[in-house]
Amino acid sequence: MADNRQKTDPPVLVGRGKRMMSIILNRPRVLNSLNMEMLGLIRRALDEAERDDTIGFVVLRGSGEKGFCAGADIKVLAMAAKTRHLREAYEFFDAEYALVFGHGRLHSLPFANGAAHGLLTPDVLTGFGGGDGN
C-alpha cells in the first residue's frame, strides 16, 4: 500500500564536501523566512563546522528562485504579538542575533552584494549575503 502522507522537506539542508559544508535554507514558498527551528539547525551546523578541522569553508544559500532569505517569519511574529505571546518574539530575535552576532564570530563582508554577514574563524569562513553576486 502506498504512503499517501505528504512528506515535508526539512527547513534546512546541510551537505558536506571534502573541505566544505553547505547550509541551504529550504522554505522557498515563504522566501526562506527564518523560524526558531531553522535558527537551531543553522546554529548546530555552524558549530559542527567550527569543531571539524576538515571543513575549510561554509556556503550558505537559499533554495528557490526568488531570494536568499526574507528575514524573520513575520506571520509567526505577528501571531505572537497579536496573542500577546511577546516572549516568543523576543526569544526569536535573541536567537537570531546570537546566531548572527554571537561571540564576535560574524562580521560584515565588504565583497558581498547586498546585506551580508560572515563567520570568520581561523579555519572557517561563512557568508550570509543577499543579492545576485553581480
Give tens-digit pLDDT for 12-21: 999 999 988 9
Grid cell locating 50: 567550527
Residue indicated by cell numbers 522566501: 31
Q: H or E element: which one contains 41?
A: helix 36-51
Q: Which residues contact 66 (CB under 8 A, 6 or more apart)?
A: 28, 31
pTM of the model: 0.71
List the grid coordinates of 88. 516568543
- C-alpha distance from residue 75 to each of 35, 57, 69, 72, 120 (Å): 10, 33, 15, 9, 32
Mean pLDDT, residues 94-115: 59
Q: How far apart are CA 68 and CA 116, in angstroms?
A: 11
Checking if the pLDDT of 107 tops 50, the result is no
With bands split at pLDDT 50, 70 and 90, how would you rate the model's confidence at 7? Answer: low
- pLDDT above 70: residue 116: no
2, pLDDT greater than 80: no
Query: Which domains does the chain carry?
Result: 12-129 (3.90.226.10)
CB atoms within 10 A of CB 94: 11
Residue 102: band (very low, low, confident or very high) from pLDDT cuts 50, 70, 90: low
